[in-house]
């Protein structure tokens, strides 16, 4: 799924991903999963600005790394691997 970002935001995302030791794609997967998890947990409602730091404070780094790097789970139809 292509995502178009302006040059400045793309650069900032590169810096953030590098600071966390992740690829840009891995960071985007973490952010999307966090957003969808929060949306589902709040009955389909989101309050902006998001307060993700509260949700990730208790999450172990390994689970975030798993979300970021579990590539085999992405892009496959159900039942195929």
Tens digits of residue pLDDT in 34-64? 889 988 998 998 877 766 555 544 444 445 5
Domain ranges in the chain are 7-72
Which helix (H) or strand (E) segment holds residue 13: the answer is: helix 7-20
Q: Is the pTM of this model over 0.85?
A: no
34 by Cβ neighbours in 10 Å (0-12 / 13-18 / 19+) ranks as middle
What was the pLDDT predicted at 25? 94
- Asked if 32 contacts 67 with a C-beta cutoff of 8 angstroms, the reply is no
- Average pLDDT value for residue range 68-81: 48
Residue of 40 and 72 predicted with greater confidence: 40
């Amino acid at each position: 799924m292509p995502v178009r970002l302006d040059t400045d935001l793309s650069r900032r995302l590169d810096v953030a991903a590098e600071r966390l030791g992740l690829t840009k794609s891995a960071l985007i997967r973490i952010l999307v999963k966090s957003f969808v998890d929060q949306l589902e947990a709040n009955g389909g409602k989101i309050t902006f600005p998001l307060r993700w730091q509260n949700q990730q404070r208790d999450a172990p780094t390994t689970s975030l790394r798993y979300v970021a790097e579990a590539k085999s789970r992405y892009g496959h139809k159900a039942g195929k691997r």
